Structure 1
């Protein structure tokens, strides 16, 4: 494996080279500056892993990340630092935003155990390949899909952290394309938003969600269902009346409906949005502020808009146990929800470590994420719940 280590400290270079050799990697090149490293990357064969200190004289690690992105570096990048953990995390985020393959962000001194984990991760075939170019569908195709009923709902379960019972689901739209198979929303939602179709799309998803929830209830599954709503819905003054009529037609209990609103959406037309959202709450519908912590004027919105559920963004939940900043934001968000008398939902529970960390906090009401379940078709949910009833008994530390 071709490895390059960049650090202005000669002792660190020698130590890392020795540690890597002991792990079966004798072919390690070292550079004491980022400029030398860039020249080496330009002149020699492709490096599979680059270890880079972020605090160096001359060109620092942030500048190097920019250059690696510009040259479309395809190998793995490991960031190293003796600086504050938050600085290291920020550089890691920046590198990932540049679409670099970040294998790790390590605090010095670096141990052989950490290096072994990096090497094993690089060698693992489980790494996801880059997704092929996404086909973005035309406005005519999306309009036809809405009209022809090709949009279907998938549902991701939500679990009570107290009882471990499944208490609800979130509806997520998919397009069952007649030729392309199952199409994900990132390939058509933006088209719908930009061409005045998002309101029709949202209402279709909402109606399907109410029907499925009613059918589950008839089978003794009383679950809440959450539906994302867009700014287009928050400027249509008849939207609350549409929901009430749909619920009456389907004999649906509106107390089971949750409408999730992304906080950044609320910055436009605030008076109209406040009118609509208040009327929805008066109709016993739960309002959830989605992706909490990622938008603007969040606390003002919590003060002025009658939300009764706070959904913490997955970026603050996944790996919060290992990230002090995310941990602090998550804990503060959950405490804020409790103090305001709001239900809290943590999305982004992706693995067992996330689950156990959230369990130890003992102040989160509901969890959601791939560790619990991926989104699934409506007909799959009852059988999955039976499987969860068995699995949940083992989820104790």
Structure 2
């Protein structure tokens, strides 16, 4: 594999190349022109697994390059660099992440050797989950067949108490175990399910597997919560609360252990029906979580009108908040508002020890993210919980704020 550097400033390009050569033995590909770099990447985008790119360049700037990296399906890590104001760098990073690129960092020039070293340390974790990394397309018929044949399975990502490190629960996340392509991430098939009217069936599959696991916990007197994302289709069916109650009764599972996560942007599509359904679910004891908080259009109105009792702060306001004053301000304001409303807060996107240590200085209640654990199959969950519990006290001591 190779590392590609793109910067029209020759001195900066050579300096970063020198810093990298002191740390890695990979081939270094240097370009002073993004057009030439893109042409090389188009021939074989898999050759490069780490790319450094300046934003301000002639002919093709960094934003144009990012747009094209997304077009060719570039899967490597991306590091954006800029000597301009920090707000521009933040905007570029957000744009790259919105284009599904793996953005490792956004760095202000001049780049230091310690920053390069930190990025290289992140590099081995780029592909820790073995999702399909080849072009994958399917139609509604294939997805429907996969649902019928049981190819859709749940992975589970733990959630832990920020103050004690105790495991509080898990979030169920859908994965497609394809017989030919292996494990397929949800962003590859969930949009199709929503477009072709299969999201309701997908939600039922995820809920059924989650409730089955909750049944085994209940029988073993294990008290953990189970979080599940619910579809817009479910939130427009007035029969959904009664259906969920019946299914939970069949499994012998008390509904207060179930957390339904609702993305706030979904609520505005049919606000009256959603308010009807969500209020009835709360009456039945279901915990309601407003997911991806801060990324929608009417967050405060949703908190005012809908009986949420959990607020899940989007990873975009969590990861690197320790180093970014604006992210920190938004994060802490969200946590403080939730506390005043009597709502529990969950921070997703806790990816580094710095994220975790920062979180422990705040009033946030629950943490979730790759630093704690990646989403995992049920067969790996028990072993992870045992290992986490054995290391919990030393982890908490080592991350004292």
What range describes the TM-score normalised by the shorter chain of this pair?
A: 0.7 to 0.9
Deviation of residue 164 (structure 1)? 1.2
Task: From the superposition, tell whether residues 115 and 183 of structure 1 become closer, same or farther in structure 2 (CA, over 3 Å).
Answer: closer
Task: Name structure 2 gaps, 5 residues minimum.
Answer: 23-27
Contact 2:157 2:376 in 1 (8 A): yes
Task: From the superposition, tell whether residues 272 and 84 of structure 1 become closer, same or farther in structure 2 (CA, over 3 Å).
Answer: same
SS in 2 for 1:360: coil
Contact 1:76 1:103 in 2 (8 A): yes
Counterpart selection for 1:6 from 8, 18, 22: 8
Deviation of residue 365 (structure 1)? 0.7
- Correspondence for 1:297: 298
- Correspondence for 2:321: 320
Deviation of residue 244 (structure 1)? 1.1
Residues 188-197 or 266-275, more deviating: 188-197
- Correspondence for 1:184: 185
- Correspondence for 1:198: 199
Task: From the superposition, tell whether residues 97 and 260 of structure 1 become closer, same or farther in structure 2 (CA, over 3 Å).
Answer: closer
Distance between the aligned counterparts of 2:115 and 2:85, measured in 1? 18
Distance between the aligned counterparts of 1:130 and 1:149, measured in 2? 18
Deviation of residue 322 (structure 1)? 2.0
Deviation of residue 40 (structure 1)? 7.5
Task: From the superposition, tell whether residues 173 and 130 of structure 1 become closer, same or farther in structure 2 (CA, over 3 Å).
Answer: closer
SS in 2 for 1:268: helix
Residues 63-72 or 249-258, more deviating: 63-72
Alignment of 1:212-223 (within 5 A): 212-223=213-224
User: Rg: which structure is higher?
Assistant: 1
1:159 aligns with 2:155: no
Distance between the aligned counterparts of 1:209 and 1:313, measured in 2? 23
- Correspondence for 2:64: 66
Contact 1:5 1:28 in 2 (8 A): no
Task: From the superposition, tell whether residues 76 and 235 of structure 1 become closer, same or farther in structure 2 (CA, over 3 Å).
Answer: closer
Distance between the aligned counterparts of 2:332 and 2:311, measured in 1? 13
Task: From the superposition, tell whether residues 357 and 198 of structure 1 become closer, same or farther in structure 2 (CA, over 3 Å).
Answer: same
Deviation of residue 320 (structure 1)? 1.7
Distance between the aligned counterparts of 2:284 and 2:252, measured in 1? 15
Contact 1:139 1:195 in 2 (8 A): yes
Distance between the aligned counterparts of 1:244 and 1:76, measured in 2? 44
Distance between the aligned counterparts of 2:300 and 2:331, measured in 1? 15
| TM-score of the superposed pair, with normalisation by structure 1 | 0.81
SS in 1 for 2:345: strand
SS in 1 for 2:361: helix
Contact 1:69 1:100 in 2 (8 A): no
Task: From the superposition, tell whether residues 91 and 22 of structure 1 become closer, same or farther in structure 2 (CA, over 3 Å).
Answer: closer
Deviations 1:140-174 (A, max 9, x none): 23223333333322211111112211111111122
Deviation of residue 241 (structure 1)? 0.3
Task: Name structure 1 gaps, 5 residues minimum.
Answer: 8-12, 32-36
Task: From the superposition, tell whether residues 221 and 84 of structure 1 become closer, same or farther in structure 2 (CA, over 3 Å).
Answer: same
Distance between the aligned counterparts of 1:306 and 1:176, measured in 2? 36
Distance between the aligned counterparts of 1:188 and 1:339, measured in 2? 38
Residues 147-156 or 255-264, more deviating: 147-156
- Correspondence for 2:25: none
- Correspondence for 1:10: none
Alignment of 1:110-149 (within 5 A): 110-114=111-115, 120=120, 128=127, 132-149=133-150
SS in 1 for 2:173: strand
Deviations 1:70-93 (A, max 9, x none): 597989876544543222222233
Task: From the superposition, tell whether residues 237 and 389 of structure 1 become closer, same or farther in structure 2 (CA, over 3 Å).
Answer: same
- Correspondence for 1:273: 274
Task: From the superposition, tell whether residues 214 and 349 of structure 1 become closer, same or farther in structure 2 (CA, over 3 Å).
Answer: same
- Correspondence for 1:252: 253
Distance between the aligned counterparts of 1:43 and 1:379, measured in 2? 44
Contact 1:260 1:287 in 2 (8 A): yes
| TM-score of the superposed pair, with normalisation by structure 2 | 0.80
- Correspondence for 1:263: 264
Contact 2:82 2:107 in 1 (8 A): yes
